[in-house]
């Protein structure tokens, strides 16, 4: 079986699959506070965990979905920032030189 896709862009080779990482997010609510616990697991069983929180503000309607969205977004943002920090540290370790923080908004070309 060929690793080819057919679509609007024509035929193209798919890159070789090298690993699968998974993110699990659990959301907890108690007394107007929401906490999201995110766990990234790599294919070797390594994990990275973060927690994001949201709190109902005085005078705001209690809409649990909004708290969930804010807490999950904060947890995932922290997860991304920590992963970029680890990658930056790995670059410094591999090159033996201090590394600039990796820009989260664009890849280097």
Per-residue model confidence as pLDDT tens digits over 59-76? 988 889 999 999 999 999
Mean pLDDT to the nearest integer, 83-102: 85
> How much is the pLDDT for 8?
53
| Banded model confidence at residue 98, pLDDT cuts 50, 70, 90 | confident
> How much is the pLDDT for 54?
97
> How much is the pLDDT for 11?
59
User: Could you state, in order of their start, the residue ranges of all structural domains in the chain?
Assistant: 18-94
The architecture in CATH of the region 18-94 reads 2-Layer Sandwich (3.30)
Inter-residue long-range contacts of 34-41, CB under 8 Å, 24+ positions, other chains counted:
34/64, 34/67, 34/68, 34/70, 34/71, 35/71, 36/68, 36/71, 36/72, 36/74, 36/75, 36/76, 37/75, 38/72, 38/75, 38/76, 38/78, 38/79, 40/79, 40/83
> How much is the pLDDT for 3?
44
> How much is the pLDDT for 106?
67
Per-residue model confidence as pLDDT tens digits over 18-44? 999 999 999 999 988 999 999 999 999
């Amino acid at each position: 079986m060929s690793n080819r896709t057919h679509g609007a862009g024509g035929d193209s080779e798919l890159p070789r699959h090298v690993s699968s990482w998974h993110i699990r997010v659990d959301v907890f609510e108690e007394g107007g506070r929401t906490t999201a616990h995110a766990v990234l697991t790599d294919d070797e069983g390594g994990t990275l965990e973060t927690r994001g929180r949201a709190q109902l503000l005085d005078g705001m309607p209690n809409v649990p979905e909004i708290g969930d969205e804010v807490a999950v977004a904060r947890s995932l943002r922290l997860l991304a920032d920590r992963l970029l920090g680890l990658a930056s540290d790995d670059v410094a370790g591999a090159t033996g030189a201090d590394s600039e923080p990796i820009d989260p908004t664009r890849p280097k070309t």
